Amino acid sequence: MSDARNQARAVLEGPDIHRALTRIAHEILERTKGAEKVVLLGIPTRGATLAFRIAERISQFEGVKVPVGTIDITMYRDDLRLRPARPLGRTDLPAEGVDGRTVVLVDDVLFSGRTVRAALDALNDVGRPRAVQLATLVDRGHRELPIRADYVGKNLPTSKSEKVKVYLEEIDGRDAVLLIKGDDRPDAGETNGER
Amino acid sequence: MKRHLISAGDLTRDDALLVLDTAEELARVSERSIKKLPTLRGRTVVNLFYEDSTRTRISFEAAAKRLSADVINFSAKGSSVSKGESLKDTALTLEAMGADAVVIRHAASGAPHRLANWVRGSVVNAGDGTHEHPTQALLDAFSMRRRMGRVEGLKVAIVGDVLHSRVARSNVLLLHALGAEVTLVAPPTLLPVAVDTWPCQVSYDLDAVLPKSDVVMMLRVQLERMNAAYFPSAREYSRRYGLDRERFARLHDDAIVMHPGPMNRGMEISAEVADSPRSTIVEQVANGVTVRMAVLYLLLSGSEPAIGGDL
């Protein structure tokens, strides 16, 4: 790990993340005509934190209170059997529910798209949204499924062996996105939290 | 490698906390309209019940089905067991059917341990004789944590027929691992010989223990396992060790009353106490499904189990 740290490069610093989220919040307002009937659902852990930040900005800009919650996707993953059983995250839906609303899923890094597929399945079991959109802080490419984001903080070209690690103030004590040079093993970038 | 859940002693403190935390998240699933999760699709769970059971069997069945596992229910009555088939031969049959987990209830202490030698899947002990019932202890700890906010530091009195109780043994081991202080209260005839080696206190005097307890767990007097006179009469037992209204009044205001069921109302617990809002008896059943989902999830969902012990 310490080896990898040495080769880490910050691609986004605190102010960059701040600006990216501000822009996403504006784009959501624009695309959804004032965030009417919008629900933000973050994917734990860092997606959830980002969802709350975006909701806060939306309410600052237009004074609308957007319901925000979290949706855990662990039980819906397609790679559960490849690794030991893992602890669950928190699913906490806003009291308004998701039926008939536009759900904006929020995650920190968009990579293979498998997390988002799992989130769509999870969403299917909790209600029937009118539409589902996707917001991500970093899109690093290498999609394995036909999934794209509606709101992107930063498009980050990466090689598959690199890792992208998102640090957020609320969880990690600082805001940053690091690109970590990986080894050349295939799938080396596919570890939890470091995507 | 971790694989089975045969004894509450198989669980480290971290294992036990992982089960309780997982159950806490799964409890939310039980509240929504679609209660099913796809997680164990294609896995097979066999319920192998050699002893009568209502809540445990139904609870395991509901838990496995909510996780989308295929469930095969086997009860000794009406099967080849009544033709004299041995546990081993039954186990080999299940093995041939490809069971990923076998949930076993058996009148003989140690049967799950024997079974674990013969099958490749995980074995979950759902009660063996007078030995252990680890998922009951987990659901009891979960119920305590939900009501009291914590398990660590709680003073728990387990009262009654400890000698024949698999619930008591599993609870003592688990609650000790989680940092609760357990006191067993029973007449000397209903305590096992080696009780002094258990990680708990022992008392013969219920009235002295009650005011100091946060949780009072009443055990069923297991008349079907009693082949000798352990106490002079049901009435005398009830007078000295039953939880009636007067004793209940001596508990502090936040204390809760638990019972693993089925109850002998009027014997170890009065109907009034059993139905009081401070009794968790009905919650314990609901929590049972959630906790067993957590156990099955942690044993079966990954490439290898995240909890439990090896032989």
Residue located via tokens 């609320």: A170
Six-digit token pair at B248? 């209940």
Residue B133, annotated ligand binder? yes
Q: By the CB < 8 Å criterion, does B20 face chain A?
A: no
- The pLDDT value given to residue B94: 86
Within 10 angstroms of residue B214's Cβ, the number of other Cβ atoms is 20
Q: Which of B21, B29, B297 sits opposite A85 (nearest CB)?
A: B297
Q: What pTM did the predictor assign? A: 0.92
Q: By the CB < 8 Å criterion, does B149 face chain A?
A: no
Task: Give contacts of A85 with chain B, Cβ < 8 Å.
Answer: 297-302, 304-307
Residues of each domain in chain B carrying CATH 3.40.50.1370: 8-133+285-300, 134-281
Nearest by Cα to B178 from B138, B143, B211 = B138
At residue B203, the 3 state secondary structure works out as strand
In terms of pLDDT, which residue wins out, B304 or B139? B139
Residue B3, annotated ligand binder? no
Which positions ≥6 away from B157 have C-beta within 8 Å?
B182, B183, B184, B185, B206, B209, B210, B213, B215, B216, B217
Task: Give contacts of A86 with chain B, Cβ < 8 Å.
Answer: 302, 306
Q: How many Cα atoms occupy the beta-carbon half-sphere of B214 within 13 Å?
A: 17
Q: Compute the distance between CA of residue B265 and CA of residue B283 in angstroms, rounded to an integer.
A: 18
The chain-wide mean pLDDT, for chain B, equals: 93
* pLDDT tens digits in sequence order for chain A, 195 residues long: 455 445 889 999 999 999 999 999 999 999 999 999 999 999 999 999 999 999 999 999 999 999 999 999 999 999 999 998 889 999 999 999 999 999 999 999 999 999 999 999 999 999 999 999 999 999 999 999 999 999 999 999 999 999 999 999 999 999 999 999 876 554 444 444 445
Q: Compute the distance between CA of residue A25 and CA of residue A54 in angstroms, rounded to an integer.
A: 6
DSSP single-letter state for residue A129: -
Q: By the CB < 8 Å criterion, does B16 face chain A?
A: no
Which positions ≥6 away from A30 have C-beta within 8 Å?
none
* Spatial contact of B73 and B97, defined as CB atoms under 8 Å apart: no
Which residue of B lies nearest to A79 if distances are taken between CA atoms?
Answer: B302
Written as one string, the DSSP assignment of B280-304 is: -HHHHHHHHHHHHHHHHHHHHSSSS
Interface contact flag, A84 B25, Cβ < 8 Å? no
Interface contact flag, B301 A81, Cβ < 8 Å? yes
Written as one string, the DSSP assignment of A3-64 is: HHHHTEEEEEEHHHHHHHHHHHHHHHHHHTTTTTTEEEEEPTTHHHHHHHHHHHHHHHHH--
A151-155 vs B155-159, strand pairing mode: unpaired
Interface contact flag, B25 A91, Cβ < 8 Å? yes
B 258-297 → A contacts, CB under 8 A: 297
Mean pLDDT, to the nearest integer, of B10-31? 94
Nearest by Cα to B294 from B152, B144, B142, B182 = B142
> Distance from CA of residue B103 to its chain's centroid?
13
Q: By the CB < 8 Å criterion, does B299 face chain A?
A: yes
**Interface mutation vs chain A, best among B2, B17, B25, B300, most A CBs within 10 Å:** B25
Which residue of A lies nearest to B39 if distances are taken between CA atoms?
Answer: A75
- The pLDDT value given to residue A183: 64
- The pLDDT value given to residue A3: 52
Residue B262, annotated ligand binder? yes
At residue B233, the 3 state secondary structure works out as coil
Q: Compute the distance between CA of residue B200 and CA of residue B211 in angstroms, rounded to an integer.
A: 18
Domain B134-281 classification at class level: alpha beta
* Residue type at position B240: R
Domain B8-133+285-300 classification at class level: alpha beta
Interface contact flag, A80 B301, Cβ < 8 Å? yes
* Spatial contact of B26 and A88, defined as CB atoms under 8 Å apart: yes
CA angle A77, A116, A29 (to 5 degrees): 150
**Interface mutation vs chain B, best among A80, A82, A99, A121, most B CBs within 10 Å:** A80
Q: Compute the distance between CA of residue B179 and CA of residue B263 in angstroms, rounded to an integer.
A: 28
- The pLDDT value given to residue A193: 46
Q: Which of A72, A86, A90 sits opposite B302 (nearest CB)?
A: A86
pLDDT at B157 over 50: yes
In terms of pLDDT, which residue wins out, B261 or A29? A29
pLDDT at B240 over 90: yes
- The pLDDT value given to residue B76: 79
**Interface mutation vs chain B, best among A79, A83, A88, most B CBs within 10 Å:** A88
- pLDDT tens by residue, B93-147: 888 888 999 999 999 999 999 999 999 999 999 999 999 999 999 999 999 999 9
Task: Give contacts of B21 with chain A, Cβ < 8 Å.
Answer: 87-88
Q: How far is B174 from chain A (nearest CA, A)?
A: 20
Task: Give contacts of B34 with chain A, Cβ < 8 Å.
Answer: 125-126
Q: By the CB < 8 Å criterion, does B26 face chain A?
A: yes
- The pLDDT value given to residue A91: 93
Q: Compute the distance between CA of residue B186 and CA of residue B33 in angstroms, rounded to an integer.
A: 44
> Distance from CA of residue A112 to its chain's centroid?
13
Across B120-134, B205-219, B220-234, least confident range: B220-234
DSSP single-letter state for residue A80: G
Interface contact flag, A89 B303, Cβ < 8 Å? no
What separation in angstroms does the CA of A68 have from each of A47, A133, B154? 12, 14, 36
What separation in angstroms does the CA of B52 have from each of B15, B55, B105, B106, B124? 29, 10, 9, 9, 17
Q: How far is A28 from chain B (nearest CA, A)?
A: 28
